[in-house]
Amino acid sequence: KAKEAGRNQYHFFAQEMQQQVNRRVELEQHLRVALEHKKLTVHYQPIIDIVTGQLYGVEALMRWPTDFGQYISPAEFIPVAEESGLIAPLGEWLLGQACGDIRRLNKAIGLNCYLTVNVSSQQYRLGFNATIIKQIMQQSGFHPENLTLEITESILLEDDKAVTEWLQSLRATGVNLAIDDFGTGYSSLSYLKRFPINTLKIDRGFIQDIDQNQDAAVLVNAILSMAKSLSLKVIAEGVEQQGQLDSLKNLGCQYVQGYLYAKPMAIEGLIEWVERFTLISERTCHKLWLD
Ligand code: C2E
Ligand code: MG
Ligand code: MG
Ligand code: MG
């Protein structure tokens, strides 16, 4: 009886695994078609400078719309893109698209909005490099000084020398480098001195209960003071509530990103949002001026 149950369970798991494999293969094929037919889009999420109250920049996030008006989550399709190598053409496409969009936005509204773009460690292995960046900057007319590439700590675990040279060659184009999801990796902090990094993006996990949990606040405080002594900018990710924002203000964090201000939006939505936000922040400044 027990043996039979075990066998059934085995069959169940095998079946489930097979289904997962099938889904991956299917996703990969659909993703390839979506890329060819230009079916992917980019959404932009504002990053706010809470010291000046102004928009600092936007993060570009890849979106895959289905025919039914929904989106397939990046958490699901980015790993497929990485495993299949599709992340290389996808990443280059996104960078070009985002640089063009934000250049037009800046021109139209007279802004100097920064752009940040995720670069997966798989792109490093697949040959993403300074030549590609320069080409895209030239085609889009975007200034590399206004661009930040977000990498994850996992890449810093690879061969030290090769990664350092790669990062230095990227920096030499003028772009800035940020560590995304900071605090979730396993690497030692000493890399912050060795690698040419400009910015840390504190992972949402540390921000979630920053106003409830003393330990979380202590950790963020430590990250902020370390960043300060290394002259790094810090962006807090996933700020959803006023209480979290207040805590971050008290700790002296300058940049925040999260649903409290805005969700990621298509470029049309971003333009409207920016116009509204600029009006509000001007009015607030004006009010402060009068008071
Ligand atoms: P990420 O780079 O850490 O991006 C931030 C994620 O947090 C985004 O999820 C964003 O929508 C979400 N987020 C922002 N504010 C809040 C908030 O207040 N609360 C909560 N709960 N979430 C918030 P998204 O767009 O689903 O992307 C997930 C991940 O997929 C990204 O995490 C990034 O690692 C990857 N990804 C997305 N686009 C690209 C891309 O173009 N290239 C690469 N290589 N990876 C990408
Ligand atoms: Mg990111
Ligand atoms: Mg990321
Ligand atoms: Mg992140």
Find out whether 93 and 258 touch, Cβ atoms under 8 Å: no
Query: What value of ipTM does the predicted structure carry?
Result: 0.98
**pLDDT tens across the length of the chain (291 residues):** 666 777 777 777 788 888 888 888 899 999 999 999 999 999 999 999 999 999 999 999 999 998 888 999 999 999 999 999 999 999 999 999 999 999 999 999 889 999 999 999 999 999 999 999 999 999 999 999 999 999 998 888 777 889 999 999 999 999 999 999 998 876 677 788 888 999 999 999 999 999 999 999 999 999 999 999 999 999 999 999 999 999 999 999 999 999 999 999 999 999 999 999 987 776 665 544 443
pTM value?
0.93
Find out whether 256 and 236 touch, Cβ atoms under 8 Å: yes
C-alpha 119 – ligand 2 centre gap (Å): 8
Element (H, E) at 219: helix 214-229
- One DSSP character per residue, 34-49 reads HHHTT--EEEEEEEEE
| Cα 149 versus chain centre, distance | 9
Nearest to 124 by CA among 171, 62, 82: 82
Ligand 1 neighbours (beta carbon < 6 A): 45, 61-62, 73-75, 78, 91, 94, 118, 120, 180-181, 204, 238-240, 257-259, 264
C-alpha 290 – ligand 2 centre gap (Å): 38
Q: Closest ligand 1 atom, CA of 43? A: 25
